[in-house]
Structure 1
Amino acid sequence: MVQEAANPIVMAKLYAIMEAIADRVEMHKNIGEQQNNWNSLLLTSVNTITLTAATMAGIAVTTASIGAPLLALKLSSTLLYLAATGMMLIINKIQPSQLAEEQRNAARLFKQLHGQIQTTIKIGTPTMADVKEFMDKVLALDKAYPLPLLGAMLDKFPSAVEPAVWWPQQPERQVKGLSGRTDKNGWNGKLEEEMRKIVGVLNRKDKKDYLRLGEKALKINKLLAISGPLLTGLAAAGSAFVGSPSHGASAAVVGCVAGALASVVNTFEHGGQVGMVFEMYRSNAGFFSLMEESIESNLKERDVERRENGELFDMKVALQLGRSLSELKDLSAASSRTGNAIEEFASKLF
């Protein structure tokens, strides 16, 4: 059977989309590297400033009886602490490690989309519906992972943790021409039931667990983001009163100890890349949400000829979960035996 030739306009549009995607991959990759460098450089700079200010506050105690040196050390220490406080507020607002993770995710997903278009061109006859679908996916990715910092940046401290969403609403399914299709397009009642059980496991175990971990990472990040500037601000106030007859000793302790603690907090937050960890958990939860939506979209389509081929879809789900086809069936069977009490996670990848 000779495959029908694709419309040249459709092909031209698909290649134009591929070129735009390739450019976006490069942009996200470059910006991600830059933001990762920001995280390292700003972490080192803030810690250096903070520890220098703490050292100056400590030296000022030993020169408490000397007017000019004491004033110079106190003023320098206070100004350095205030500079560190301002820098921490900005860094904690933008979360460079989280920004870098967003760009890494965007680059990976754009590469994946680029591959999907190539596959569509090679094994099918693309239509204008395919062009619209891929355009919608590009725009959804642009919205999910914005490039600008001002105005469009994602909220780094949301009130509630939600899975990342980088795909458009599932479009109306088009008939996919596959040679050698079996009766009912590879679907049967057993496969449908297996997919429903997998959706249940994904929702109860995998997605729920990553959202729980994401909430913990978010709470830790919020605490650290508040504690760092608060400690440097307290240290600035303490260093300003070093040498004062009424607050001399306590001010010196606050000026040195609060500064040292601020450095520890900043190192844990940005050196440990807590923001990146939160984004990773949020993205993983989104991956499972996309799988659920994809499976449910196929199951809701009553005309099996309009679904994705069942055998192919079964293999895709198994690969996405890091399982063999037999392991996927075992997971479904285990879910049937134990119900909601199943302890095994659906995914073996992460």
Structure 2
Amino acid sequence: MTILQSSSFLNFVPSTSYNYCCKRGLIRATINIPRIKTGKISLPNLQSVHEQEYSTIVNNDNLVDIQLSPATTRTHMLNGPDPLVIEKLYAIKEAVADRVEMHRNIGEQRSQWNSMLLTSINGITLAAATMVGIAASSSGDSVLGLKMSSTLMYLAATGMLTIINTIQPSQLAEEQRKATRLFQDLYNQIETTLSIGHPSGIDVKEAMDRVLALDKAYPLPLLGVMLEKFPSSVEPAVWWPQQRRRQTKSVNNDNWNGWNSKQEEEMREVMGVLGRKDQEEYIRLGEKALKLNKFLAMSGPLLTGVAAIGSAFASHSPHGSWAAMLGIVGGALASVVNTVEHGGQVGMVFEMYRSNAGFFQYIKESIESNLRETETERRENGELFELKVALKLGRSLSGLRNLAAVASLKEEHLDEFASKLF
């Protein structure tokens, strides 16, 4: 006989089937578990626990069946997240947060370098040109002082322009802005991994590899490890580690893990458009920006150097008048060139094109890595991966599929780009 008490203590008596009627509802209980004795707990056999089910009553008004799976609970307890793995991920997360702040601060600093040096060098250059003009139209002892002052100012401007054109502060600031965004993205991914639960050692290794790859792609120091500002050819920026074979992490329980032959073909077409259109276009624009930046970087110091020579020989003589004109015009042109280069932030534009080409390269490698994996269980879930690609390209799922359909026609003059963001 079963007694139902308000203290929620149940003393079960084994039986095959038991029905109890009361005036408020019908209670049915199917019981297949051993007797629980007072003062001693008898645990069932683990093999039989897997098949056990029982039902109980939540209230007296409705009959509620609750089916428990003790084997699942036991597996969850045994295979729970490793505390050491969680601690490692939190340590990486803290380091990534620190890098976000470092790159943000240094990016702001280098952006200020660009504006302050631009203003200072233009001020020095224009002041020197003014002194040359005054010296050419004056006579007396003050002429020598004006010529010496303008020559020294031109030489100082030449040295400063050489330095600023070598380090390219606007390009440095863009590198730090890009690094800040990528480290913030990594920080968000680690947070997502921790919130979903069950992180593994693979997650720790992947996070560490991404941190080191970002450190290498966007270094903080200037001396020794600074990225080359005038490379011989434009290569896409690479800030991700080498793609490795994934472990089995299928979201669905089917054998295809959300993939099918049609989706694979669509991803191949999208990858082809990214390489033929988007990446190629940004590499072409990057080459133009690089050539312009090289020309401006050489022209600025050359003009101030010529202006310094002209200011040194400025006088009332016929040859001195030409020298004075050279000093004045050279200084004015140097200010214009410096304004176009650093005021227009041509180095930043080049870095932006290079980074965008790297972004498309990253998507291409991600698609290729998944398609190259013959075991679909080791791929990223197909539906989730398609959604990520569509969001990164600024498209809807239907828009991404339409792009693949148009690209599959093998039209040579396809005007549509894969990305809608850049």
The normalised TM-score by structure 2 is 0.81
Aligned 8 A contact 2:296 2:338 in 1: yes
- 1:253 aligned partner: 325
Per the alignment, in what secondary structure is the counterpart of residue 339 of structure 1?
coil
- 2:278 aligned partner: 206
1:121 aligns with 2:194: yes
Unpaired runs of 5+ in structure 2? Answer: 1-71
Per the alignment, in what secondary structure is the counterpart of residue 76 of structure 1?
helix
User: For residues 277 and 181 of structure 1, what CA distance do their matches in structure 2 show?
Assistant: 47
Q: Which amino acid aligns with 1:303?
A: E
User: For residues 131 and 40 of structure 1, what CA distance do their matches in structure 2 show?
Assistant: 41
Q: Rg bigger for which structure?
A: 2
User: CA 1:124–1:193 in structure 2 vs 1: closer, same or farther (change >3 Å)?
Assistant: farther
User: For residues 228 and 85 of structure 2, what CA distance do their matches in structure 1 show?
Assistant: 37
Of structures 1 and 2, the one with the larger relative CO (CA 8 A, separation 6+) is 1
How far 1:182 sits from its partner (Å)?
4.2
User: For residues 155 and 262 of structure 2, what CA distance do their matches in structure 1 show?
Assistant: 66
Q: Which amino acid aligns with 2:270?
A: I
Q: Which amino acid aligns with 2:104?
A: K
Q: Which amino acid aligns with 2:150?
A: S
Q: Which amino acid aligns with 1:196?
A: R
TM-superposition CA deviations, 1:254-298 (whole Å, max 9, x none): 000010000000000000000000000000000000000000000
Q: 2:157 aligns with which of 78, 84, 96?
A: 84
- 2:233 aligned partner: 160
- 2:222 aligned partner: 149
1:69 aligns with 2:142: yes
1:299 aligns with 2:371: yes
TM-superposition CA deviations, 1:96-147 (whole Å, max 9, x none): 0000000000000000001111112222421111111110100000000000
Q: Higher helix share goes to which structure?
A: 1
- Summarize the alignment of residues 102-251 of structure 1 with structure 2, pairs less than 5 Å apart: 102-178=175-251, 180-243=252-315, 245=317, 247-251=319-323
Aligned 8 A contact 1:22 1:114 in 2: yes
1:274 aligns with 2:346: yes
User: For residues 244 and 26 of structure 1, what CA distance do their matches in structure 2 show?
Assistant: 58
1:289 aligns with 2:361: yes
How far 1:248 sits from its partner (Å)?
1.1
User: For residues 340 and 122 of structure 1, what CA distance do their matches in structure 2 show?
Assistant: 47
Identify the range of structure 1 (51-60 vs 111-120) with the bigger mean alpha-carbon deviation: 111-120
1:36 aligns with 2:111: yes
- 2:23 aligned partner: none
How far 1:212 sits from its partner (Å)?
0.4
- 1:347 aligned partner: 419
Q: Which amino acid aligns with 1:235?
A: A
1:24 aligns with 2:96: no
User: For residues 400 and 272 of structure 2, what CA distance do their matches in structure 1 show?
Assistant: 13
Per the alignment, in what secondary structure is the counterpart of residue 171 of structure 2?
helix
User: For residues 119 and 353 of structure 2, what CA distance do their matches in structure 1 show?
Assistant: 26
How far 1:341 sits from its partner (Å)?
2.7
Aligned 8 A contact 2:249 2:378 in 1: yes
Identity of aligned residues (%): 67
Aligned 8 A contact 2:393 2:421 in 1: yes
Unpaired runs of 5+ in structure 1? Answer: none
1:47 aligns with 2:119: no
Q: CA RMSD in A?
A: 1.2
Per the alignment, in what secondary structure is the counterpart of residue 126 of structure 1?
coil
Per the alignment, in what secondary structure is the counterpart of residue 390 of structure 2?
helix
Q: Which amino acid aligns with 2:85?
A: V
How far 1:336 sits from its partner (Å)?
1.1
TM-superposition CA deviations, 1:10-34 (whole Å, max 9, x none): 1110010000000000000000000
Aligned 8 A contact 1:239 1:254 in 2: yes
Per the alignment, in what secondary structure is the counterpart of residue 186 of structure 1?
coil
Q: Which amino acid aligns with 1:31?
A: I
TM-superposition CA deviations, 1:52-101 (whole Å, max 9, x none): 000000000111x32x2110000000000000000000000000000000
- Number of positions where the alignment pairs a residue of Structure 1 with one of Structure 2: 347
How far 1:188 sits from its partner (Å)?
0.4
User: For residues 223 and 141 of structure 1, what CA distance do their matches in structure 2 show?
Assistant: 30
Per the alignment, in what secondary structure is the counterpart of residue 257 of structure 2?
helix
The normalised TM-score by structure 1 is 0.97
How far 1:40 sits from its partner (Å)?
0.5
- 1:315 aligned partner: 387
- 2:29 aligned partner: none
